Amino acid sequence: MAGGNVAQAGNETEVLCLGETMSLVAPAAPVPLEEAPAFTLSAGGAESNVAVHLASLGHRVRWASRLGDDPLGRRVVASIAAAGVDTGLVEMRSEAPTGVYFKDPGPDGTRVHYYRAGSAASTMDQDFLADEVIDDARVLHISGITPALSEGCDRLIRRLLTRPRRAPISFDVNHRPALWSARQAAPVLAELAQLADVVFVGLDEAATLWGVKTADDVRELLDSPVTVVVKDGAEAAYALGERRTVVPAPTVEVVEPVGAGDAFAAGFLSGVLRGEDDERCLRRGHLLAAHSLRSTEDHTAPPDAESLARWLALDEEQWGALRFDGSE
């Protein structure tokens, strides 16, 4: 996706992110949930994570969703608003609760426990947002989580992807096994991804869903989007559009991995909004993901502008030697 036709000066919304956000309970230290003596309570949701990361980078961002009109819902919307995201499109519902999820860090990775059935966000449907609100944004960012929440949410995502649109749609595949199996999700997520302009997907995720082995296999499967961004974990990330661009991932001492994909998407989209080429967009994605991997929080403060500029300017050899291990 060429960035030059997206960036625009003025007060218009640059990115509109839509999707469920829940209350997030996580151990204060990266230890298993059942052993943790203290916890943090924050907000976590793929699309609002992207919104918060983009706002922290200085972009004008709105987030749309539904929350329960309860203490957790009010806390969620307040925390996201405090991060600089416009939450004026969020609807509070008294008849349905705010979803909750727990992070459970362990030696083999982090498990996530969801308590979101019947949440306020699952009541969204195809009439949730007016066309003029959608068209006000320069980019619309959605994910494959939303259609798994309910039939109404599925209709909403399909409407967004099939209606005449003025701006590109960014779609993060984001398969959640706790919501639907790979067998159920695979054809639906492939169909929806084909309707988007820019698609984010992990190579391991794509292998589970569609049986592909390489980033090029993913691009062959998803041949309609302008750009397909494939993240190959700690190895590299690919931007596959008119050209094939590969940027290796910096070495990171991982504290906790959940949320890193959202940080990567925000970094890449930030580059797009700035009119940068795919290599620089991928670098921005890697840098935000690296900072996310170093924290138990879903969204952390971005690198300072000076460090970010310095890392983005590294030559290929210097980039290959870049490490984030607590000493940077």
CA dist., res. 165 & res. 129, Å (int):
14
pTM for the structure as a whole: 0.91
The strand pair at 323-324 and 251-252 is best described as parallel
Instruction: Name the residue among 255, 295, 282 with its Cα closest to residue 107.
Output: 255
Write down the pLDDT at residue 254.
67
Question: Tokens 């580059």 correspond to what residue?
Answer: 271
Write down the pLDDT at residue 260.
84
Which string of DSSP letters, residue by residue, matches 269-294?
A: HHHHHTT--HHHHHHHHHHHHHHHHT
The answer to whether the beta carbons of residues 265 and 170 sit under 8 Å apart is yes
Q: Which residues of the chain have pLDDT under 70?
A: 1-11, 254-259, 294-301, 326-328
Question: Tokens 């292998």 correspond to what residue?
Answer: 207
Q: Residue 151 carries which side chain, given as an amino acid letter?
A: E
CA dist., res. 110 & res. 34, Å (int):
13
**In what order do the strands lie in the sheet containing 109-115?**
39-44, 22-27, 100-106, 109-115
Residues annotated as catalytic (active site), given as ranges:
262
The answer to whether the beta carbons of residues 279 and 247 sit under 8 Å apart is yes
The answer to whether the beta carbons of residues 159 and 130 sit under 8 Å apart is no
Please tell me whether residue 208 adopts helix, strand or coil conformation.
helix
Paired tokens of 123:
């009541």
CA dist., res. 140 & res. 137, Å (int):
7
Write down the pLDDT at residue 146.
98
Instruction: Name the residue among 289, 274, 277 with its Cα closest to residue 241.
Output: 277
Question: Tokens 């700035």 correspond to what residue?
Answer: 274
Write down the pLDDT at residue 127.
96
Write down the pLDDT at residue 319.
87
15-316 CATH, one of 3.40.50.1580, 1.10.287.180, 3.40.1190.20, 3.20.10.10: 3.40.1190.20
CA dist., res. 238 & res. 247, Å (int):
7
| Partners of 17 in beta bridges | 63, 141
Q: Which tens digits make up the pLDDT trace of 169-223?
A: 999 999 999 899 999 999 999 999 999 999 999 999 999 999 999 999 999 999 9
Cα of 323 vs its chain's centroid, Å: 23
Paired tokens of 56:
């922290």
Write down the pLDDT at residue 153.
98
